[in-house]
Amino acid sequence: MNINILPMINAGLNGLSAILLLTGYTFIRRGNREAHRICMVSAFIVSIVFLVSYLVHHALAGIIYYPGHGWPKILYETILTTHTILAVTVPVLAIVTLRRALKGDFEKHRKIARVTFPIWLYVSVTGVIVYFMLYRGFLQ
């Protein structure tokens, strides 16, 4: 397998996760619990596939450094730092949020979902931005 394709796959998975999160949010705001559940479970599965692919890529390719300089590098490092710090929290938050929903504890689910959703969405979107900056030369 050509590992050079994994960053593009990972960006696609991050983008798909963001779309599923936003779609699921829209469904729950409209009162469609079943469609919301399908979207959020799908976002969780997509995120698991992303994590496996990400770990495989970095196990085989190592660390890739941003080649740019000046303000683009500062912007990249700022986005990457916030992305990384928040990404560490997403698996735990997502599991707890999903578990509460699946148990039918919707009051606790809603409380933690208000924290989980924006963090998970931010991590998904910034993952795509990091890909474009690092692998596609955006702002270099």
Q: 70: which DSSP letter?
A: S
> Domain map of the chain by residue range?
3-135
pLDDT tens for 13-48 read 999 999 999 999 999 999 999 999 999 999 999 999
Q: What is the pLDDT of residue 140?
A: 72
Q: What is the pLDDT of residue 139?
A: 80
pTM above the 0.75 mark? yes
Neighbours of 50 (CB within 10 A): 20
Under the banding of pLDDT at 50, 70 and 90, the label for residue 71 is very high
The phi and psi torsions of 31 (rounded to 5 degrees) equal 85, 10
Q: What is the CA radius of gyration of the chain?
A: 16
pLDDT tens for 79-93 read 999 999 999 999 999
Asked whether the predicted pLDDT for residue 72 surpasses 90, the reply is yes
Q: What is the pLDDT of residue 107?
A: 97
pLDDT tens for 79-130 read 999 999 999 999 999 999 999 999 999 999 999 999 999 999 999 999 999 9
**Superfamily covering domain 3-135:** Cytochrome c oxidase, subunit III, four-helix bundle (1.20.120.80)
Q: Which amino acid is at 98?
A: L
Q: What is the pLDDT of residue 138?
A: 82
Q: What is the pLDDT of residue 5?
A: 96
Q: What is the pLDDT of residue 2?
A: 87
Euclidean distance between CA atoms 41 and 68, whole angstroms: 37
